[in-house]
């Protein structure tokens, strides 16, 4: 599977990210699981984004 992402616009499967750090964190998590055969949905991307932004805000 090829992951639909745009580094210039910070989008993964149409989900927009606010910063490069969160974008790359979710991209890494997705790509390592895709290697194992998982096929993510747009909702999966959104859930990961929400989790990573919650974690990021907690430690700022």
pLDDT digits (tens, 9 = 90+) for 10-58: 999 999 999 999 999 999 999 999 988 999 999 999 999 999 999 888 8
Residue given tokens 């910063």 in the structure block: 19
Q: pTM to 2 decimals? A: 0.88
Distance CA 27, CA 12 (A): 8
């Amino acid at each position: 599977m090829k992951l639909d992402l745009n580094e210039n616009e910070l989008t993964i499967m149409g989900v927009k990210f606010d910063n490069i750090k969160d974008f790359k964190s979710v991209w890494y998590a997705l790509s390592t699981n895709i290697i194992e055969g998982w096929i993510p949905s747009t909702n999966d991307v959104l859930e990961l984004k929400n989790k990573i932004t919650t974690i990021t805000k907690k430690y700022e």
